[in-house]
Structure 1
Amino acid sequence: MADQLGDLLVQKGFLSPERVEQLVLESKRQNMKLGQYLIREGILKREQLGEVLSEQEGKPYMDASAILQALENGGLNSAAKLSTFFNKPTDQLMGLMRTYRLIPIGKTEKGIQAVLVPPIDKNTLKRLRDYFKAEVDYAVTTEQDFSDVVVANFFNLETLTKAKEEQVVIREVKVTSLDLLATEASAETALNILFFDAAHRGATDIHFLSAPTSCIIKYRIDGMVQEMVQIPKSLAEEAITRVKVLSDMDIAEKRRPQDGQFDLVVENQSYSIRVATVGSIYGENMFLRLLYRRSLRTGLDSLGMLPEQVQAIREMIRKPYGIVVTTGPTGSGKTTTLYALLKEIYETRDKNIITIEDPVEYDFEGITQIQINPKAEITFSGTLRSALRQDPDVILVGEIRDEETMKTAIDAALSGHLVLSTLHANNALAAVARFMSMGADPMLVASALNCVMAQRLVRVWDAVSETYRGRLGIFEILPMDDELRKMISSRADIVDLTNAARRKGFMTMEEIAKIRVDQGITTWEEVVRVVGGGIQ
């Protein structure tokens, strides 16, 4: 769109081609639309931009005063009046307006009349038609005109924007039973109750699962999913819309998967909420992961490793360079393990430490913590390259997700940095194969790897109360030595690598689990559930 707008500005003689090229780059640096940037800097008048946008879209231009007059004439000059007129929930309609920079101003026999801020593509118009179930006849306006109208008439819209940019704060919720959600409740109240209750129960996830006539709410607590309550389907739809607004997601898209994130504070405790939505046969489902932003208290000795494993990993992180990687499914404690390693390094050596995460899960004073944001083009690989120019000794990369991040991490390790990260693989030895399947050179992998770990969390059995209380880690730890490096370089298969590792004392997760069962720390049933079958 910037190119189209730039071409029109040149054609109309407002700016030279060279000047447009320069301004396009500058607006991108400021993360602003070109037109918005031109007006802010006083390079273009608002009406000049409106004229260009009108020609670009082939639609009339309406400035703020014209839009306000149209709303006044139709009696639509408040959020409540607008939602009543179009028969849409206020939160939902305000969210749509913010997402698509839209102001509906009336109806015609064929559909609705609206004002939109370009760029406007076919997908946008289709989603608006689907939402209003009518054709959309529109005029164009500038971002500044849009903001003026919103501030004058729809403060709720700005409140939603502010809520998205800041933190949602829940100080206290007086509720004795989640069954209250089955009666009348607003979306905001329902979410406050759920977040408050989930936080107090220690839940890591909240699931909204659409059913034919209701929505089932489930929590994941200590790794187990359990149904908590069923709520009206209409309430769930409004709650999902509110979460989408807070997470800067497309509220009109209810079929395709979407991901988002927002910050939450419950009774002075900070959380990052990861959001995932997807359409199902009964409606839209939503999955919320509650990541507790806490100060780190966990040390290596309290993770669940055997004493000899703690000693082995301590030796690996004393090395000045190389990669230490841990694997495991979501929610298996990988980030906690990496931060326990960082804590050990920080307390025993004077090092410059940088973390690159999505999101930052622990507050750690004295190190540099960076949260990635793909929408703002702040990626793992790009941030890792930048971090290498900031004189680091140790770098934590939240996850090696792609080939580019992997190769940059290997380069960092081989150029004198200690890199800690996570990887998706079933066990420690499979992580070695995973590097190769992502396109890494076996010789470079062999040279870079210091240690590979795999982990799971099992519930701890309390024999006195005969219930499970809390969870503990079960770990595979495979330090690299010359023989294993040589085998990796020559592309040895997993069976040969496993046999060589076992000759050096390597124990599989199943063998570690058996030790914990024999010690009475957990049960066979729990081990089979978490680690899998085949336990002897």
Structure 2
Amino acid sequence: MLSKSYLEFLINMNIPHSICLKDFDPGEKHGPERVALIVANILEKSDKCKATDIYIEPWVDKLQVCFRVDGVILPATELPRELGPNIIARLKFLANLLSYRQDIPQEGRIAQVDSLEGIEVRVSTFPTIHGERVALRLFRRENRQFILEELGLEPGVLKNLKDAIGERTGAILFTGPGGSGKTTSIYSCLSHIAKTEKTRRHIVTLEDPVEQILEGVSQTQVSPSTGFDFSLGLRSLLRQDPEVILVGEMRDPETARVAIEAALSGHLLFSTLHAGSSCGVISRLLEMGLEPYLLTSSLRLILNQRLLRKICSKCKSKGCADCNNTGYKGRLLLLEAMALNAEMRSTILQRADRATLESVFVNSGGITLVSHAIAAVKAGQTTREEVLRVLGSADCSAVFENKQGD
């Protein structure tokens, strides 16, 4: 028989009572219809929760479904384990993946969910010892306005960013883990250029995927599986006479080199790079084989960012219906901005290690993410626990202990 939690899930999802009360039957008569309804309603429920990701993972005795909301993974429901292969097969069908291959990772996308207007889903499957798990990333193509002044940046950081994007050449790089708001920040920069400058600039992007449509911006989605990757796209794009370029990610040394050289040859370049800090971006580019002089000549601003959950304004972190009893509602942007001054450029030319770069950054007045986080806690915007969850470093714990000692 079906578990109580499974029946409650089906009923809450408004799946027809005649279907949800039947034992699961993998045969042709009921299996496909029921599975299609379950998949559709999981997607609908995730949208109502404003989830950014869905995780469906098989275990020994159950199929676990979780949503990521405000950066935190929350359990959504548990389904019978035997439903797993059918649910994943349905998702593979929608994403045009090979349903008969369960032994290899696959990636695809669902361009449009029938019951959800304006949502695209990126699908990633991965084999485990208990069967395939699937991760779904939801992209909402809503008519959203990206306004630089509404990011919540501190006045000094906002001024540095506006000064940098007002230039005609150079590179502005963002770093941070997935889901830290990098795309929103970059889209806000591009929209600012497109809408506020009197003299129009030719703005083009290479993205994987295109998450939102921007007015006044020519956007392109790369397709690495067909050979149209960032490196090839950027080389071809430079022949289109662009003035402002977004390269979604510097994934390899070749893309990084072409991008940095573009920033030196009359283009304003935006891109992202995986690194732990602003100074870590410098170290990462040097590790990719770029010469120090290329970095000191091209880099205008490096921004390292994270998103923290904000304390619920109604219950003040106690938990209420408005915040789903989490104590948090909404998120706060932390942003560490590093502009390259003369001392930092000199340090880079010496190929200094990350620790030395960070020391120069702080000694020259740079404000780290940890410092921004401590200020947010003192202002009552978030909690110490949330800061430790997101930043999660020994340095962060040590700083909090020192502050308590003071």
User: Partners in 1 of 2:272 and 2:66 — Cα distance?
Assistant: 28
Q: Report the 3-state secondary structure (helix = DSSP H, G, I; strand = E; otherwise coil) of the residue aligned with 1:294.
A: coil
Q: Residue 128 of structure 2 is aligned with which of 269, 275, 280?
A: 280
User: Partners in 1 of 2:195 and 2:289 — Cα distance?
Assistant: 36
| Unmatched 5+ stretches in structure 1 | 1-173
Q: What is the Cα deviation at residue 269 of structure 1?
A: 3.4
Give the match for residue 346 of structure 1.
194
Give the match for residue 356 of structure 1.
206
**Hey, which bits of structure 1, 4+ residues long, moved more than 3 A?**
178-185, 265-269
Deviations 1:65-87 (A, max 9, x none): xxxxxxxxxxxxxxxxxxxxxxx
Q: Residue 223 of structure 2 is aligned with which of 373, 380, 386?
A: 373
TM-score (norm 1): 0.65
User: Partners in 1 of 2:267 and 2:210 — Cα distance?
Assistant: 21
Q: Is the 8 A contact 1:178 1:228 kept in 2?
A: no
Give the match for residue 404 of structure 2.
none
Q: Is the 8 A contact 1:186 1:235 kept in 2?
A: no
Give the match for residue 483 of structure 1.
343
Alignment of 1:18-97 (within 5 A): none
Alignment of 1:136-147 (within 5 A): none
Q: Report the 3-state secondary structure (helix = DSSP H, G, I; strand = E; otherwise coil) of the residue aligned with 2:240.
A: coil
Q: Is the 8 A contact 1:182 1:230 kept in 2?
A: no
Deviations 1:400-444 (A, max 9, x none): 111111011011101110110111011111011011111211111
| Unmatched 5+ stretches in structure 2 | 1-8, 25-32, 317-326, 401-406
Q: What is the Cα deviation at residue 244 of structure 1?
A: 1.5
TM-score (norm 2): 0.85
User: Partners in 1 of 2:143 and 2:173 — Cα distance?
Assistant: 22
Amino acid at match of 1:365: E
Q: Is the 8 A contact 1:187 1:236 kept in 2?
A: no
User: Partners in 2 of 1:243 and 1:519 — Cα distance?
Assistant: 44
Q: What is the Cα deviation at residue 369 of structure 1?
A: 0.4
Amino acid at match of 1:475: L
Give the match for residue 329 of structure 2.
469
Q: What is the Cα deviation at residue 243 of structure 1?
A: 1.6
Whether 1:208 aligns to 2:68 is no
Whether 1:455 aligns to 2:301 is no
Larger radius of gyration: 1
Structure 1 vs Structure 2: percent identity of aligned residues?
35
Whether 1:435 aligns to 2:285 is yes
Q: What is the Cα deviation at residue 241 of structure 1?
A: 1.1
User: Partners in 1 of 2:112 and 2:21 — Cα distance?
Assistant: 24
Q: What is the Cα deviation at residue 463 of structure 1?
A: 4.2
Q: Is the 8 A contact 2:44 2:116 kept in 1?
A: no
Calculate the aligned-residue CA RMSD, in Å. 2.0
Q: Report the 3-state secondary structure (helix = DSSP H, G, I; strand = E; otherwise coil) of the residue aligned with 2:242.
A: coil
Q: What is the Cα deviation at residue 459 of structure 1?
A: 0.5
Q: Is the 8 A contact 1:182 1:232 kept in 2?
A: no
Q: How many residues align?
A: 363
Give the match for residue 233 of structure 2.
383
Q: Report the 3-state secondary structure (helix = DSSP H, G, I; strand = E; otherwise coil) of the residue aligned with 1:264.
A: coil
User: Partners in 2 of 1:435 and 1:421 — Cα distance?
Assistant: 13
Give the match for residue 99 of structure 1.
none
User: Partners in 1 of 2:338 and 2:142 — Cα distance?
Assistant: 29
Give the match for residue 270 of structure 2.
420
Give the match for residue 392 of structure 1.
242
Give the match for residue 12 of structure 2.
177
Give the match for residue 322 of structure 2.
none
Alignment of 1:76-225 (within 5 A): 177-178=12-13, 184=24, 186-225=34-73
Q: Is the 8 A contact 1:396 1:420 kept in 2?
A: yes
Q: Residue 526 of structure 1 is aligned with which of 371, 386, 391?
A: 386
Q: Which moved more, 1:261-270 or 1:496-505?
A: 261-270
Q: What is the Cα deviation at residue 295 of structure 1?
A: 3.2
Q: What is the Cα deviation at residue 304 of structure 1?
A: 3.0
Q: Is the 8 A contact 1:354 1:394 kept in 2?
A: yes
Relative CO higher for 1 or 2, CA cutoff 8 Å, sep ≥ 6?
A: 2
Amino acid at match of 1:356: L
